[in-house]
């Protein structure tokens, strides 16, 4: 319970810190947001009026409080680019898309990498292990967007499993949306699969060498039981923290891969907004992604104590 | 038990990296064709003997452009690693050896940063600084400092408690002498491994950013930019995408195999 | 007795290497009868562990059995399938390992781990299994077995974990128990308790025990028969008394007479060092942003002196503050209160672990030259000359200057460490467990070197050790520490013949073979009752405690007020 409380306090403090950093970072960049919104030809009077309206004349802490109270209610102001459209509206649609994509990628990663990591560790030193090792080395070296292009070329253009560029929003047709997202999800997943396989393999191998494994054998356990009953729970402890990192990496991967497959998700929104210097959107998307990453880390911390009694009983 | 196994990682990695370095260095001074020479006869021409990697939508020689672009990519990655190694070593050594509040702050910051993927952080930096090669170097370099500092710090802490360092203290060796003469030579392999990982991340990040149009800006050559241009012609000229892509793979694979090879070597 | 339970015949094991097969166990044959306790003695690399691991079916995958058979109950274990073997493992034959800290699975509850063998080998219902587990935990002397079942290994002390390991090994009441250095990682007092427990098990269940150790003193405590192994071969065997008192093989003689004696007393009246009211606090901070700071009292009012030419022994169990004291003296820990008056420049420290005390990246010559460089000796030729002189003095060839530490054996490295401590011409050396990581025969060589240097260079030693036998032969005086305090200080013979403090008594009785004296060390740990914060630190384990001990801390009393060196003891028993 004490552990929980400690984690929750840390979570709240981290979230606040992140919001401060995000706000301050985008407030100190040179350029006047009011001017950016109105364009270079606006009269000084109109700019001044808008500045007043946007609250830009207030002090930085005041503006932070305003912004944060808006953000908590989901109000991030209006986009510069799509004048009049609230940022939250733009984000909400795309958040769903990215969430579906990320979950699909995550499932693919888990389903493939866990058995592969275990096989690689069990067959240490055999040709299967060497093959898996080479596979992980190569796939980790492929940038996700290049992989996306290869997949598009073969499965989109050559075999016509999907129509590149014809993405369907989940609100229109969830089924075809998911079908379209299979290949983007694969493009995100493959380099991460390699990461998890490698990590899991090393984790299992370092556990197998420990003294308690010898004890387990001396009781008359067979190899399989030793592995599944004794080694696994121990080997998973470091992997769980690693999975949090993978989840964050998936989000990063989706930024690039959405671009390759023309998927209208958060990543694409972010990239376009950066190119157009549409700061309210950038600020909001960055805050969204960081909050998601932090919450994933929090969940992992909570899960951690169920796997590791040393944390629980301290 | 101690049969020597062929360290295939190290061998293949060294071969690939040698090829990369050669191509990049030669490409800086000489390329088969001018990298910006256009030839309207050869628009989207398939690979041939004269143009082994084919031509792009302006009829430019892809091989020449790759050789040129590799230079930019490697330059960005090297500068990034350089910034990270220099500042990371200093910060890591000081915080690791002396501990205290500076150590606490740096490590908290590091914990916070390491939760986020470097591409995302680099994107945030770029959105603040604006795109461009130097900004990319700056952003990636700064981002690499904490992770390298962490490696140096943990090595320093590990060795600080070992008896040979204690005995250097007892005999009266100064703190700087202990850090640089007694400890850091032992940490060299870990630092090298971590620097190669950093190099790879920089290559990947630079390519991704340039692909998104937020990194190196035209007319400067870059592999990521080439891929971004190639995407529109994927159906009619797949070689335009494949060769720059494979080059990136080769650069990263070479370094990661060297780093894996070093790890295996050290474990023995 | 007489009937053979285990019979090892001509066992030969080797490792394939580039140059061919390296034999690690060479033609080993022996038997263990029903109800017998057989000891195997040898140093690291003697093949003793490899032999028992092979018997237990746990040998390294790379090891090849070149010949021989292992008959258990008349059946050859080496010819069995994995399945047949696993029916014997943990059931008819079980094992206790050296490292209780790492030999238990950290994420499983104690109850589950003890029960596991029963679940594998029987089809008992769960509640019956639980009953058996609780019963055996109580049987091995663990308090509150019901609660213990719900705990995890990290919540237990080293001694308790080793008891759990024994309970785990005994749950199926095996015919043969293999104990591989079961007490090596434990403190002396705990060691004696574990040995007592093994004897008790043997007596109650008539279990045969195969007991592996590098320590003859431990083997002599429990074994009826002993086998001496050296470089993979059995060099001597017989009844324990016979082998110990009338050894035939040269190696065994070496093993038995291995502690050199300090015969000369070169003490002078002048003091080299004096500590007055030395106190050390550590502030331990919890991890994380809101970690609490906690002050730990590591050294408490430490007072003692060392005379020039003296060898002062410092004994106590792990965590009692021995190493902290050493660090204060050599200047590694400046965070103390009180006075530390050292009248000798550069007191040097010789460390325990020969593997981490030398920089692996540097050559021996560089390592020995470094102190000279640091102290400003610019003349390179002179440095080199001093280094080769020093190498000769510590019994190594000057050509060793060109080697790296990993090319040297443990004993040779420890010689280099000693050379490094002496090269600045220091006369006062603090030796922190300098031989405890070495094999018995190497130990005696290094101790001899230390004695030689002591005589020729008129050195003064503070000799820290947990090995009470070495301290007895090696030191002039002894101080005994318990939880950061010196509880007794006296001439070596005086303290060994007639220890006064209850802790010293417990400590020294733990190493004595005499059954009568062993009775004295009944385990009071189970009746743990903590004293108040101001009470005597030994209160909770003390057998002669009284009410005053719980509330007050005793002052030290000199039992030898006339003599040149005092006999201090900190106990209310002697206060009148």
Q: How far is residue C110's CA from residue C168's CA, in Å, rounded to a whole number?
A: 9
Task: Kindly determine whether residue C370 and residue B168, on different chains, have CB atoms separated by under 8 Å.
Answer: yes
Task: Kindly determine whether residue A153 and residue B234, on different chains, have CB atoms separated by under 8 Å.
Answer: yes
Cis preceding-peptide flag for B219 (omega within 30 of 0): yes
pLDDT of C415 = 94
Answer yes or no: are the C-beta atoms of B12 and A134 closer than 8 Å.
Answer: no
Has residue B1 got a pLDDT over 50?
no
Share of chain B above pLDDT 90, in %: 13
Q: How far is residue B78's CA from residue A269's CA, in Å, rounded to a whole number?
A: 31
Q: What's the Cα-to-Cα distance from C441 to each of A261, C24, C474, rounded to whole Å?
A: 72, 19, 16
Answer yes or no: are the C-beta atoms of C96 and C179 closer than 8 Å.
Answer: yes
Average pLDDT over residues B25-44: 77
pLDDT of C516 = 46
| Smallest Cα distance from A222 to chain C, Å | 7
Q: How far is residue C99's CA from residue C89's CA, in Å, rounded to a whole number?
A: 20
Got the DSSP string for A276-303? TT-HHHHHHHHHHHHHHHHHHHHHHHHH
Got the DSSP string for C363-385? -HHHHHHHHHHHTT---HHHHHH
Answer yes or no: are the C-beta atoms of C367 and C408 closer than 8 Å.
Answer: no
CA angle C237, C242, C245 (to 5 degrees): 120
Has residue B85 got a pLDDT over 90?
yes
Residue B2: pLDDT band (50, 70, 90) is very low
Task: Kindly determine whether residue C117 and residue A217, on different chains, have CB atoms separated by under 8 Å.
Answer: no
Average pLDDT over residues B187-194: 88
Task: Kindly determine whether residue B115 and residue A259, on different chains, have CB atoms separated by under 8 Å.
Answer: no
A311, A219, A1: which is closest to C106 by C-alpha?
A311
pLDDT of C284 = 65
Q: Are strands C37-41 and C64-72 parallel, antiparallel or unpaired?
A: unpaired
Answer yes or no: are the C-beta atoms of C515 and C531 closer than 8 Å.
Answer: no
Residue whose token pair is 């004295």: C520
Average pLDDT over residues A112-127: 87
Q: How far is residue C431's CA from residue C451's CA, in Å, rounded to a whole number?
A: 12
pLDDT of C292 = 57
Task: Kindly determine whether residue C357 and residue B167, on different chains, have CB atoms separated by under 8 Å.
Answer: yes
B243, B257, B259, B201: which is closest to B69 by C-alpha?
B243
Q: How far is residue C506's CA from residue C77's CA, in Å, rounded to a whole number?
A: 43
Answer yes or no: are the C-beta atoms of C76 and C67 closer than 8 Å.
Answer: no
Provide the 10 A C-beta neighbour count for residue C321: 23
Residue C2: pLDDT band (50, 70, 90) is low
β-partners of residue C213 are C41
Chain A positions touching B230 (Cβ under 8 A) are 149
Chain A positions touching C116 (Cβ under 8 A) are 216, 219, 221
Residue C32: pLDDT band (50, 70, 90) is very high
pLDDT of C8 = 93
Chain C positions touching B3 (Cβ under 8 A) are 16-18
Does residue B203 sit in helix, strand or coil? helix
Task: Kindly determine whether residue C288 and residue A214, on different chains, have CB atoms separated by under 8 Å.
Answer: no
β-partners of residue C40 are C212, C227
Q: What is the ipTM of this complex?
A: 0.84
Task: Kindly determine whether residue C356 and residue B164, on different chains, have CB atoms separated by under 8 Å.
Answer: yes
Has residue B49 got a pLDDT over 80?
no
Partners of chain A (3+ Cβ pairs below 8 A)? B, C
Q: What's the Cα-to-Cα distance from B155 to each of B159, C79, C355, rounded to whole Å?
A: 6, 48, 18
**Which overall architecture, per CATH, does domain B9-19+62-267 show?**
Orthogonal Bundle (1.10)
Has residue C7 got a pLDDT over 80?
yes
Answer yes or no: are the C-beta atoms of C59 and C24 closer than 8 Å.
Answer: no
Average pLDDT over residues A14-34: 78
Report the Cα A221 to chain-centroid distance in Å.
40
Lowest mean pLDDT segment, chosen from A150-154, C150-154, C287-291, C451-455: C287-291
Residue B121: pLDDT band (50, 70, 90) is confident
Chain C CB within 8 Å of residue B164 CB: yes
| Smallest Cα distance from C1 to chain A, Å | 26
Residue whose token pair is 């079908």: A179
The tens digit of pLDDT for each residue in C350-374 reads 988 888 889 998 999 999 999 999 9
pLDDT of C526 = 43
Average pLDDT over residues A179-188: 90
Q: Which residue of B has its CA nearest to A140?
A: B253
pLDDT of C28 = 93
| Smallest Cα distance from B85 to chain C, Å | 21
Residue C334: pLDDT band (50, 70, 90) is confident
Report the Cα C554 to chain-centroid distance in Å.
30
Provide the 10 A C-beta neighbour count for residue C261: 11
The pair of three-digit structure tokens given for residue C246, joined into one six-digit string: 């009338």
Does residue C248 sit in helix, strand or coil? coil
Task: Kindly determine whether residue C289 and residue B108, on different chains, have CB atoms separated by under 8 Å.
Answer: yes
User: Which of B1, B105, B116, B122 to mutate against chain A (most A CBs within 10 Å)?
Assistant: B116
Lowest mean pLDDT segment, chosen from A68-72, B161-165, B187-191, C23-27: A68-72
Chain A positions touching B260 (Cβ under 8 A) are 137
The pair of three-digit structure tokens given for residue B63, joined into one six-digit string: 């091989």
Lowest mean pLDDT segment, chosen from B259-263, C415-419, C541-545: C541-545
Q: How far is residue C350's CA from residue C360's CA, in Å, rounded to a whole number?
A: 17
| Smallest Cα distance from B184 to chain C, Å | 10
Interface B-C, measured as beta-carbon pairs within 8 A, has a size of 66
Q: How far is residue B1's CA from residue C22's CA, in Å, rounded to a whole number?
A: 10
Strands (E), C379-467: 428-432, 460-464
The contacts of residue B28 (CB under 8 Å, 6+ apart) are: B68, B71
Of A143, A152, A275, the CB nearest to B207: A143
Q: From chain C, which residues contact B within 8 Å (Cβ)? A: 15-18, 60, 62, 289, 330-332, 346, 348-349, 351-353, 356-362, 367, 370-371, 374-375, 417, 420-421, 424
Answer yes or no: are the C-beta atoms of C223 and C39 closer than 8 Å.
Answer: yes
Report the Cα B189 to chain-centroid distance in Å.
17
Has residue C576 got a pLDDT over 50?
yes
What domains does chain A contain, in order, with CATH numbers?
2-72 (no CATH), 87-313 (1.10.3720.10)
pLDDT of C286 = 56
Q: How far is residue C321's CA from residue C485's CA, in Å, rounded to a whole number?
A: 8
Q: What's the Cα-to-Cα distance from C481 to each of A31, C312, C474, rounded to whole Å?
A: 70, 13, 18
C159, C162, A258: which is closest to B212 by C-alpha?
A258
User: Which of C20, C59, C64, C356 to mutate against chain B (most B CBs within 10 Å)?
Assistant: C356
Task: Kindly determine whether residue C424 and residue B171, on different chains, have CB atoms separated by under 8 Å.
Answer: yes
pLDDT of C523 = 47
Q: Greatest CA separation found in chain C?
A: 80
Of B1, B164, B171, the CB nearest to C16: B1
Residue C289: pLDDT band (50, 70, 90) is very low
A296, A294, A247, A301: which is closest to A12 by C-alpha?
A294
Lowest mean pLDDT segment, chosen from A266-280, B32-46, C367-381, C483-497: B32-46
Q: From chain B, which residues contact A within 8 Å (Cβ)? A: 8-9, 112, 114-120, 123-124, 126-128, 200, 204, 207-208, 211-214, 227, 230-231, 234-235, 238, 241-242, 245, 248-250, 252-253, 256-257, 260
């Amino acid at each position: 319970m004490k552990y929980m409380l400690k984690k929750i306090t840390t979570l709240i403090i981290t979230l606040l810190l992140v919001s401060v950093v995000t706000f301050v970072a985008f407030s100190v960049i040179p350029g006047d947001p009011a001017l950016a919104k109105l364009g270079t030809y606006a009269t000084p009077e109109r700019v001044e009026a808008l500045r007043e309206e946007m609250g830009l004349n207030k002090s930085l802490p005041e503006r932070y409080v305003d912004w944060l109270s808006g953000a908590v209610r989901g109000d991030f102001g209006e986009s510069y680019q799509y004048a009049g459209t609230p940022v939250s509206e733009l984000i909400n649609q795309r958040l769903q898309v990215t969430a579906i994509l990320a979950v699909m990628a995550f499932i693919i990663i888990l389903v493939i990498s866990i058995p592969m990591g275990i096989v690689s560790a069990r067959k240490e030193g055999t040709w299967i292990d060497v093959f898996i090792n080479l596979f992980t080395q190569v796939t980790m070296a492929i940038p996700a967007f290049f992989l996306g292009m290869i997949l598009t070329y073969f499965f989109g253009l050559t075999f016509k499993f999907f129509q590149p560029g014809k993405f369907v929003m989940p609100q229109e047709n969830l089924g075809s949306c998911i079908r379209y997202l299979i290949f983007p999800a694969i493009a995100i997943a493959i380099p991460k699969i390699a990461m998890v396989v490698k990590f899991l393999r090393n984790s299992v191998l370092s556990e197998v060498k420990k003294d308690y494994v010898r004890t387990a054998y001396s009781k008359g356990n067979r190899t399989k039981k030793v592995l599944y009953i004794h080694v696994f729970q121990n080997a998973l402890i470091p992997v769980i923290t690693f999975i949090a990192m993978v989840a964050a990496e998936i989000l990063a991967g989706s930024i690039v891969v959405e671009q390759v497959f023309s998927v209208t998700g958060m990543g694409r929104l972010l990239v376009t907004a950066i190119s157009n210097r549409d700061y309210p959107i950038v600020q909001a998307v960055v805050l969204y992604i960081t909050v998601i990453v932090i919450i994933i880390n929090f969940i992992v911390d909570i899960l951690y104590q169920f796997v590791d009694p040393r944390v629980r009983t301290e | 038990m101690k049969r020597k196994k062929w360290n295939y990682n190290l061998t293949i990695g060294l071969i690939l990296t040698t090829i990369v370095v050669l191509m990049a260095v030669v490409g800086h001074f000489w390329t088969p064709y001018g990298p910006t020479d256009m030839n309207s006869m050869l628009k989207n021409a398939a690979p041939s003997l004269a143009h082994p990697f084919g031509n792009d939508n302006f009829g430019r020689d892809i091989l020449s452009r790759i050789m040129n672009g590799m230079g930019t990519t490697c330059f960005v990655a090297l500068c990034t690693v350089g910034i990270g190694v220099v500042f990371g070593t200093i910060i890591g050594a000081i915080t690791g050896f002396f501990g205290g509040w500076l150590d606490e702050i740096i490590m908290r910051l590091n914990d916070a940063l390491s939760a986020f993927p470097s591409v995302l952080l680099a994107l945030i930096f770029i959105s603040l600084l604006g795109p461009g090669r130097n900004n990319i170097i700056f952003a990636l370099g700064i981002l690499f400092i904490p992770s390298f500092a962490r490696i140096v710090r943990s090595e320093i802490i590990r060795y600080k408690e070992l008896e040979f360092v204690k005995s250097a203290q007892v005999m009266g060796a100064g703190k700087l002498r202990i850090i640089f003469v007694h400890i850091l030579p032992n940490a060299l392999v870990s630092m090298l491994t971590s620097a190669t990982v950093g190099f790879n991340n920089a290559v990947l990040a630079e390519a991704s950013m340039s692909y998104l149009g937020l990194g190196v800006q035209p007319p400067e050559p870059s592999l990521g930019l080439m891929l971004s241009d190639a995407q529109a012609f994927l159906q009619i000229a797949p070689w335009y995408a494949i060769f720059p892509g494979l080059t990136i793979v080769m650069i990263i694979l070479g370094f990661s195999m060297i780093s894996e090879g070093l790890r295996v070597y050290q474990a023995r | 007795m007489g009937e053979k339970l285990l019979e090892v015949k001509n066992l030969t094991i080797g490792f394939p290497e580039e140059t061919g097969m390296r034999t690690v166990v060479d033609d080993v044959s022996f038997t263990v009868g029903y109800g017998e306790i057989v000891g195997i003695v040898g140093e690291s690399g003697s093949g003793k562990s490899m032999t028992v691991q092979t018997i237990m079916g746990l040998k390294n995958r790379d090891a090849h059995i070149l010949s021989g058979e292992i008959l258990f109950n008349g059946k050859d274990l080496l010819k069995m399938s994995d399945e047949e073997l696993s029916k014997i493992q943990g059931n008819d034959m079980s094992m206790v390992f050296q490292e209780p800290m790492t030999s238990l699975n950290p994420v499983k509850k104690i109850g589950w781990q003890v029960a596991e063998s029963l679940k594998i080998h029987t089809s008992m219902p769960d509640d019956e299994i639980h009953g058996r587990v609780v019963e055996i935990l109580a049987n091995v002397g663990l308090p509150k077995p019901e609660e213990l079942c719900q705990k995890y290994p990290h919540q237990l002390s080293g001694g308790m974990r080793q008891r759990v390991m024994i309970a785990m090994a005994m749950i199926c009441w095996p015919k043969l128990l293999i104990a591989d250095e079961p007490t090596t990682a434990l403190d002396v007092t705990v060691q004696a308790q574990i040995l007592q427990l093994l004897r008790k098990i043997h007596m109650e269940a008539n279990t045969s025990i195969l007991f592996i150790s590098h320590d003859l003193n431990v083997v002599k405590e429990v074994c009826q028969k002993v086998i001496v192994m050296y470089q993979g071969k059995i060099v001597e065997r017989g009844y324990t008394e016979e082998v110990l008192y009338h050894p035939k093989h040269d190696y065994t003689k070496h093993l038995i007479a291995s502690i050199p004696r300090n015969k000369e007393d070169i003490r002078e009246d002048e003091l080299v060092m004096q500590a007055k009211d030395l106190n050390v606090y550590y502030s331990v901070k919890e991890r994380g942003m809101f970690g609490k700071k906690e002050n730990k009292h590591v050294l408490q009012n430490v007072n003692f002196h060392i005379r020039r030419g003296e060898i002062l022994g410092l004994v106590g169990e792990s965590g009692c503050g021995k190493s902290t004291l050493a660090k204060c003296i050599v200047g590694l820990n400046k965070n103390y209160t009180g006075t530390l008056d050292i009248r000798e420049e550069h007191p040097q420290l010789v460390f325990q672990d020969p593997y981490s005390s030398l920089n692996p990246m540097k050559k021996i010559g560089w390592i020995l030259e470094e102190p000279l460089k640091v102290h400003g000796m610019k003349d390179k030729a002179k440095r080199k000359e001093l280094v080769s002189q020093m190498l000769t003095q510590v019994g190594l060839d000057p050509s060793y200057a060109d080697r790296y530490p990993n090319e040297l054996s443990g004993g040779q490295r420890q010689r280099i460490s000693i050379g490094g401590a002496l090269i600045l011409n220091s006369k006062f050396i603090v030796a922190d467990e300098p031989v405890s990581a070495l094999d018995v025969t190497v130990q005696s060589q290094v101790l001899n070197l230390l004695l030689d240097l002591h005589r020729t260079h008129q050195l003064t030693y503070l000799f820290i050790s947990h090995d009470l036998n070495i301290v007895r032969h090696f030191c002039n005086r002894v101080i005994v520490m318990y939880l950061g305090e010196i509880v007794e200080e006296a001439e070596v013979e005086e303290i060994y013949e007639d220890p006064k403090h209850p802790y010293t008594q417990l400590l020294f009785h733990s190493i004595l073979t005499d059954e009568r004296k062993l009775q004295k060390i009944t385990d009071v740990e189970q009746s743990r009752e903590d004293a108040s914060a101001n009470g005597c630190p030994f209160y909770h384990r003390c057998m002669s405690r009284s009410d005053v001990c719980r509330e007050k801390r005793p002052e030290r009393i000199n039992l030898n007020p006339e003599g040149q060196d005092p006999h201090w003891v900190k106990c209310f028993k002697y206060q009148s």
